[in-house]
Structure 1
Amino acid sequence: MKIIDVICSKGRTGFFFDDQRAIKQGAVSDGAAYIGKTATAGFSAVRQAGEAISVMLLLEDGQLAYGDCAAVQYSGAGGRDPLFLADDFIPVIEQYIKPQLIGTEVANFRALAHQIESIEVDGKRLHTAIRYGVTQAALDAVAKASKRLMCEVIADEYGTEVSDREIPIFTQSGDNRYENSDKMIMKGAQVLPHALINNVKTKLGENGEKLAEYVAWLRDRILKLRLSQDYTPVLHIDVYGTIGAAFGNDNYTAMADYLESLAELAKPFRLRIEGPMDVEDREKQMLALKELTRIIDERGIGVELVADEWCNTLEDIKYFADNKAGHMVQIKTPDLGGVNNIAEAVLYCKQKGIGAYQGGTCNETDRSAQVCVQIAMATQPDQILAKPGMGVDEGYMIVYNEMQRILAIRRAKANQ
C-alpha cells in the first residue's frame, strides 16, 4: 500500500501557548488571559491561541490516515523548539515532506518513522511538532493498510504485548484546581490533579504555605467525595520549579524538609511532585534532581520526584533515567518528535526501573491524544495524561474512551 497524497489543514489545539518565562517573571493573570510583556521569541502575547496542523495521508485504496502536529503549552522554554504556528509550518510540510512521502510504501512503521525523522531543512531536523504529527499519520497508515489497531502495530514491531487493562489516567486541573479536583474525584481519576503551581507568591506561598494548605484540602476532599474506600488516587502536583525558587535550588535539606511535610499532609495518599526546581540548564537540572532524589531516598521520605523541565527528547530521557534523576520521568510526547520515540522512551524507562509517565500537554488535539493512548496500550507506562485541555471532562473522556475501545475490540477479536 502506497501513499498517493499528503493533505494539510490548519487546526486549533485544546488550550493555549503560554510564555513560561514571562509568567515566571511576573505576568499577571487576568481572567483567561495574562497581562505583561513577552519574554520568549515568537510570542505576540503572554498567552495566545494554540495552533495545530492536521496531516492526512491518502492511501492508494482511498483510505485516509491522519495525525496532528502540535507543540507543548510552554513552547520555546526549557530547551524546546520555538513557537509552532500553522501558517509558518504548513509550507515546510508541503515543500519538504510531501515529495518524500508520495509513492512510499506503508508496510513498516519504524522504517517510515525513521524516514520522516531523518528529513532535514538547511541542515536542521524538522520542528518536533511536525515530526510528531506526521509520524502519527504514518502509524495510522500502517495500521489501516494492514487492518490492525495502531497499538497492535507498535506491539508487533517492538515485541511487546497490548495491555488487557486500563493504564492509570492522570488528569490536570489548570488554575481551577478546586472545582476541577471535584470532577476528577467523581470520575474516579487514578492520578490527580496536576494543580499548575507555577508562581511562588500566588500559588506555592513564600514558605510553601499555600501549596501545603491545598494538599490538606485535597486530601480531605477525596475522603469526603469518594464513593469507596478502595479509591486511593495518587496525588501528582506539578510545581514548575517553584519549590527551588522559594527555598533555594541548591538548598536540598530545606527542599527535602518541605517535601516531607507535604507527604505527611497527603496521607493516606501517595504524593508525587513534578519539577521541584528549574535551574535553566540540562546538566545542572539533572544533577540537582539526582541529588534531591538521593536525599529523599536516604531519608525515606514518602514522595516521588518527577523529572520534567530540561528532560525533553529521547536522549534527555535516557540521560535522566541513567542517572536516577527523579523517581519518574515525564515523557512529554510532543517534545520527542516522532511518536516512535514515545514507545522507545517508555520501554527504556521500564528497563532502567524508573517510572514512565507518558505525558504531553494540554495544548494538543483529540487526535494526538488518541494516538498516544494507542502507543500507551502497547508499551504500558505507569500513567498516561488526560489531554487536551484543562477542563478535565474533555481530555479524560478522549483518553478513557479510546482506551475502552481498544479493550473492547481486542476482546471481541479474541472471541471470534
Structure 2
Amino acid sequence: MKIIDVVCSEGRTGFYFDDQRAIKAGAGHDGFTYVGETKTAGFTSIRQAGEAISVMIVLEDGQVAYGDCAAVQYSGAGGRDPLFLAKDFIPVIEKDIVPKLIGRELNSFRALAEEFDAMTIDGKRLHTAIRYGVSQAILDAVAKAKKVTMAEIIKEEYNTGLEVTRRPIFTQSGDDRMNNADKMIIKGADVMPHALINHVETKLGNDGSILKEYVEWLRNRVIALRTSEDYAPIFHIDVYGTIGMAFNQDIKAQADYLATLVEAAKPFKLRIEGPMDVEDRDKQIEALAALTAEVDARGIEIELVADEWCNTLEDIKLFADNKAGHVVQIKTPDLGGVNNIAEAILYCNEKGIGSYSGGTCNETNRSAEVTTNIAMACGALQVLAKPGMGVDEGFMIVNNEMNRVMALVNRRK
C-alpha cells in the first residue's frame, strides 16, 4: 500500500501555551489569563492559544490516516524546542516532508518513522512537534494498510512479548484542583490529581503547608465520595520544582517534607513529580538521584517522578540508568517521533523504573489516541488523560480509545 498524497490543516489544541519562566517569576492572574512581561522567546503573551497541525496521509485505496503535530504547554522551557505556531511550520512540512512521503510503501512503521524522526534540514533536526505528528500519521497509515489497530503494529514491530492491555489512567486537574478532584473520584480515575503546584507562595506554601493541607483534603475527599473501599487511587502531584525552591535545594530538608506528605496521603500511595528543577540536565539527574536515594534509605513510601530536563529518549535513558526518580515521565511530544515513545517505555520497563506515558494538556484528541495505543502495546505504568484540564474530556478520549482497541484486539483472538 502506497502513500499518494499528504494534506495539512491548522488546528487548535486542548489547552494553551504558557510561559513557564514568567509564571515561576510571579506573573499575576487576570481571570483566565496572566499579566506581566513574557520571559521565554517567541511568546507574545504569558498565556496564548495552543496550536496544532493535522498531517493527513492519503493511501492509494482512498483511506486517510492522520496525526497531529503538537507541543507541550510549557514550550521553550526546560531545554525544549521553541514555541510551535502552525503558520510557521506548515510550509516546512509541505516543502521538505510531503515530497519525501508521497510514493512510499507502508510496509513498516518503525523504519519509516525512524527515517523522518532523524531527518535534518540545513543540518538541524525538525521541530519535535513535526516529528511527533508525522510519525503518528505514519503509524495510523501502516495500521490502516494492514487493517489492524495501531497497538498491534507496535506489538509486532517492537517484539514486545506483551499482550495489548488497558493501562491505569492519570487525570490532571489544572488550577481547579478541588472541583476537578471530585470529577476524578466520581469517574474512578486510577491516578490523580496532578494539581498544578507551580508557585511556591500561593500553591505550595513557603513551608509546604498549603500543599500538605490539600493532600489531607484530597485523602478525606476520596474517602467521603467513593462508593467502595476497593477504590484506592494513587495520588500523583506535579510540583514543578517548587519543593526544591522552598527548601533551598537541600536534599535532607526535601526528604523531611516529603515524609509529611506521605503521612497526609495515607492510606493512599503518593507520587511527587518534579520535586526540584535545577535548570540543567546533568545537575537535575544528580539532584533527583540523590533525593531518590535519600527517601529510599529512610524507607519513605513515596515515588518520585522525573519530568523537567527529561525530554528526549537519550535523557530518559540517562535518568533511568542513574536511578533519578522511581518513575520517568515520557513526555510524548518532547520525544519527537512516536517510535521513541515505544522505545522509552520498553527501556524503562527493562530497567525497573516506572514508565509513565505522559504528555501535555496542550495536545489534541488524535495525539492522545495514538500514544494510548503505544502505551497499551508496551505495558506503560500509567497513561495521561489528555488533552485539556477539564478532566472529563481527556478521560473520555483515552478511556474510550483503550476500550475500542481492546474490543478489536479481542475480536481477532
Fold-level match, TM-score > 0.5? yes
Give me the whole-angstrom Cα distance separating, in 1, the residues matched to 2:192 and 2:285.
Answer: 25
What is the identity, as a one-letter code, of the residue corresponding to 1:361? T
What is the identity, as a one-letter code, of the residue corresponding to 2:291? L
Q: Give the alignment of 1:10-409 within 5 angstroms.
A: 10-161=10-161, 163=163, 165-249=165-249, 251-409=250-408
Give TM-score, length-normalised by structure 1. 0.98
Q: Is the 8 A contact 2:165 2:379 kept in 1?
A: no
Give me the whole-angstrom Cα distance separating, in 2, the residues matched to 1:365 and 1:114.
Answer: 23
Q: Is the 8 A contact 1:151 1:162 kept in 2?
A: no
Q: Is the 8 A contact 1:161 1:378 kept in 2?
A: no
Give me the whole-angstrom Cα distance separating, in 2, the residues matched to 1:275 and 1:136.
Answer: 28
Q: Secondary structure at the match of 2:230?
A: coil
Give me the whole-angstrom Cα distance separating, in 1, the residues matched to 2:164 and 2:251.
Answer: 41
Give me the whole-angstrom Cα distance separating, in 2, the residues matched to 1:321 and 1:338.
Answer: 20
Q: Is the 8 A contact 1:162 1:377 kept in 2?
A: no
Q: Is the 8 A contact 2:204 2:211 kept in 1?
A: yes
Give me the whole-angstrom Cα distance separating, in 2, the residues matched to 1:385 and 1:117.
Answer: 23
Q: Is the 8 A contact 1:313 1:335 kept in 2?
A: yes
Q: Secondary structure at the match of 1:198?
A: coil
Give TM-score, length-normalised by structure 2. 0.99
Give me the whole-angstrom Cα distance separating, in 2, the residues matched to 1:350 and 1:164.
Answer: 15
Q: CA deviation at 1:227?
A: 0.8
Q: Is the 8 A contact 1:306 1:329 kept in 2?
A: yes
TM-aligned CA distance change 1:162 to 1:13, over 3 Å: farther
Deviations 1:374-414 (A, max 9, x none): 10110011100000000000000000000001111122222
What is the identity, as a one-letter code, of the residue corresponding to 1:64? V
Give me the whole-angstrom Cα distance separating, in 1, the residues matched to 2:118 and 2:328.
Answer: 26
Deviations 1:242-274 (A, max 9, x none): 00000011x111100000000001000000000
Give me the whole-angstrom Cα distance separating, in 2, the residues matched to 1:322 and 1:253.
Answer: 23
Q: CA deviation at 1:287?
A: 0.2
Q: Is the 8 A contact 1:97 1:119 kept in 2?
A: no
Q: CA deviation at 1:161?
A: 4.7
What is the identity, as a one-letter code, of the residue corresponding to 1:236? H
What is the identity, as a one-letter code, of the residue corresponding to 1:272? R
Q: CA deviation at 1:320?
A: 0.3
Q: Which runs of 4+ in 1 moved over 3 A?
A: 161-165
- Structure 1: runs of 5+ lacking an equivalent: none
Q: Secondary structure at the match of 1:173?
A: coil
Give me the whole-angstrom Cα distance separating, in 1, the residues matched to 2:254 and 2:25.
Answer: 22
Q: CA deviation at 1:162?
A: 5.6
Give me the whole-angstrom Cα distance separating, in 1, the residues matched to 2:162 and 2:395.
Answer: 21
Q: CA deviation at 1:119?
A: 1.6
Of 357-366 and 108-117, deviating more is: 108-117
Deviations 1:63-94 (A, max 9, x none): 11100000000000000000000000000000
Identical counterparts, % of pairs:
69
Q: CA deviation at 1:115?
A: 1.5
Give me the whole-angstrom Cα distance separating, in 2, the residues matched to 1:326 and 1:337.
Answer: 23
What is the identity, as a one-letter code, of the residue corresponding to 2:138? A
- Structure 2: runs of 5+ lacking an equivalent: none
Give me the whole-angstrom Cα distance separating, in 2, the residues matched to 1:305 and 1:382.
Answer: 14
What is the identity, as a one-letter code, of the residue corresponding to 2:362? N
Q: CA deviation at 1:147?
A: 0.9
Q: CA deviation at 1:164?
A: 5.2
Q: CA deviation at 1:168?
A: 0.2
